[in-house]
Amino acid sequence: MATDSWAQAVDEQEAAAESIGSLQIKDKPEENVSFAAGTTANATDSSSGAAKTEAEEGGKSTDDDDKEDKAAQSLLNKLIRNNLVNTTNQVEVLQKDPNSPLYSVKSFEELRLKPQLLQGVYGLGFNRPSKIQETALPMMLAEPPQNLIAQSQSGTGKTAAFVLAMLSHVDPNNKYPQCLCVSPTYELALQTGKVIEQMGKHYPEVQLVYAIRGNKLQRGMKLQEQIVIGTPGTMLDWCGKFKFIDPKKVKVFVLDEADVMIATQGHQDQSIRIQRMLPKNCQMLLFSATFEESVWNFAQRIVPDPNIIKLKREEETLDTIKQYYVLCNCKEEKFQALCNIYGAITIAQAMIFCHTRKTAGWLAGELSREGHQVALLSGEMQVEQRAAVIERFRGGKEKVLVTTNVCARGIDVEQVSVVINFDLPVDKDGNPDNETYLHRIGRTGRFGKRGLAINMVDSKMSMNILNRIQEHFNKKIEKLDTDDLDEIEKIAS
C-alpha cells in the first residue's frame, strides 16, 4: 500500500509535468493567436521536441551538459518566479559619452510611453520601474537611440525593460519587421514572446512572430509582423537565406541571455552574422545575468559604442539562519533522525539535498512511505517536468522537496524555511563546496527571513567537511540530538 502511494505520487507528478509541459511551453504561441498572427500557430505544430538547443536542431550534439543546463536553469527560474527580485544595490553606469546627462526615472509616467503601453505595464501589475529599469529605460528610449549592454541577475526586470523598448520603437503602420530579438532556446524565446504579448495587449496593431525551428514559411514571402523573436539559427536564415526579413529595415536588435547564448556552440557566430546585416544606426541591446570575460568579449562584438549598466547581486548571508548538525552512522539513521525532527516540530515546507540521484530516490520513497507528501527532482527529468514539480511544490501541493544539487542549482524557492543537507555539499575532489552551502541555505539580507538548516553527518569525513564549512563562514553549527524531543522542539522556537 505504502509503495503504491509512492508510485501514485510519482505518476501524479509525471502526469502534472506532462500537462504543464504542454500547457506552458508547447501551446504557448496559440494562446494569443490574435496578437501573434497566423505564423505562430505554425510554430506550434513543430514544437514536439523538448528543451533542445539550436545546435542539436542542426543535428550537432552539444557534448557539455552544463550548456544545456544553463538554458534549463534560466527557463526554470522564469517559470517559477512570480515577482521581481529586489535589490538594494546601486546600479553602476558607464556612459558612452560621460558628459551627457544621465537620466533615471522613478515612475513609468516619466517615460512618456504610449497610453496603450502604459496600460500594458500597469496591467502586468508594475507600479514603478525596477532598479535596472530606472536607468536602462530612459537610455533605451532616448532619441537618437543608444546602444546598451546590461547585466543584472535573473529576475531584476531586464526582459520587461527591453520588451517595453521594442514596443515603444515600432511603428505599427509599417508592416515589416522592425525589432529582432534573439534568445538562446526555443522555450526562452516563447517566454519572452509571452511578455511581449502581455505588455502589448492593448496595442493590437503591433504583431509578433516567432523565428523558431520548424516555423516553416512559404518561400518568397515577406513578414508583416513588426517584432520577430527567435533563436539565432532560424533568425539568421530568415534574414539571409530566405529573406523573409529585410535586415536593413530593422531599428532595434536585442540579444537576450548572452551568457547562456555563448555557452551554446554556433550561437555566437550566428548572432554576429545577424548583427552584421543590420544598419549602422540600428539600436543594439544586449542583456546578461552574468558578466565573465567571455560574455564581455562577445558583448563588445555585438554592441558598438555601448552604454553599460551593471547591477551587483545581493549578497547572501547566513546571519539569519540557525544551523545544526546531527551525528548518524548510516543513511537509515539519517532518515530516522529526519523522522524524529518531523515528529517534533511543524515544518511547513522543506528542501532536502542529497548527493546522488539514487539516495534522493530512496529517501523520497521512504518519506512517502511515512506518509509525507514528497516531490522529487531527478536528473533524468525533462526541463518541463522539473518546472512542473517545482511549481507544484511552490503551490504547496507537496511539503517536502527532495533533490540533488545538480537539479536544484540556481533555483530559488524563497518560501522554504527549512533546508536539510542529507549529504553535505562537496566538490569533485571531495572538498567542502562552500558556495553551494551558502546558496542552499543563505538568504539575502533584504528578505532576512529566519531559516533553519540541518546538516546530517555520517562519517569522520563528513564531520571534517562540516568543520571546514564552519571555519569558512566563521559561524558555529550547533550539535542537535534528535533522540531528545525537547531539544528538537527548542530549535523551532
Ligand X SMILES: Nc1ncnc2c1ncn2[C@@H]1O[C@H](COP(=O)(O)OP(=O)(O)OP(=O)(O)O)[C@@H](O)[C@H]1O
Q: Judged by CB under 6 A, does residue 133 bind ligand X?
A: yes
Among residues 21, 29, 120, 129, which is the contact residue for ligand X, using CB under 6 A?
A: 129
- By CB under 6 A, what part of segment 269-298 binds ligand X? 289
Nearest CB to ligand X, comparing residues 199 and 416: 199
Residues near 35 by beta carbon (within 8 Å), at least 6 away in sequence: 197, 200, 201, 204, 207, 208
When the beta carbons of 15 and 124 are compared against ligand X, the nearer one is: 124
Give, as ranges, the residues between 141 and 160 that touch ligand X (CB under 6 A). Answer: 154-160
Q: Which is nearer to ligand X, 38 or 125 (CB)?
A: 125
- What's the gap between Cα 420 and its chain centre? 23
Q: State residue 77 phi and psi, 5-degree precision.
A: -60, -40
Nearest distance in Å: CB 349, ligand X = 21
What is d(CA 366, CA 373) in angstroms, rounded to the nearest whole number? 11
Count of residues near ligand X by CB under 6 A:
20
The set of long-range contacts for 105-114, using a CB threshold of 8 Å and a minimum separation of 24, is 105/129, 105/134, 105/137, 105/138, 106/134, 111/137, 111/138, 111/141, 113/164, 113/168, 114/168, 114/203
Nearer to ligand X, 154 or 404 (CB): 154
CB of 22 to ligand X, least distance (A): 22
CB of 151 to ligand X, least distance (A): 10
Rank residues 48 and 82 by Cβ distance to ligand X and give the closer one.
82
83 contacts ligand X (rule: CB under 6 A)? yes
> Toward ligand X, which CB reaches closer, 183 or 455?
183
Q: Which stretch binds ligand X (CB under 6 A): 121-129, 262-270, 318-326, 384-392?
A: 121-129
Rounded to whole angstroms, how far apart are CA atoms 341 and 161? Answer: 45
Q: Does 130 bind ligand X (CB under 6 A)?
A: yes
Residues in the chain, total: 493
C-alpha cell at 122: 500597469
**Shortest Å distance, C-beta 257 to ligand X:** 7
> Any bridge partners for residue 72, and if so which?
none
386 binds ligand X (CB under 6 A): no
Cis before 144? omega within 30:
yes
69-80 burial, b for 16+ CB within 10 Å, e for fewer? bbbbbbbbbbbb
Smallest distance, ligand X to C-beta of residue 42, A? 26
| Closest CB to ligand X among residues 129, 193 | 129
What is the rounded distance in angstroms from the CA atom of residue 133 to the CA atom of residue 146? Answer: 15
Residues that bind ligand X (CB under 6 A): 74, 77-78, 81-84, 124, 126, 129-130, 133, 154-160, 289
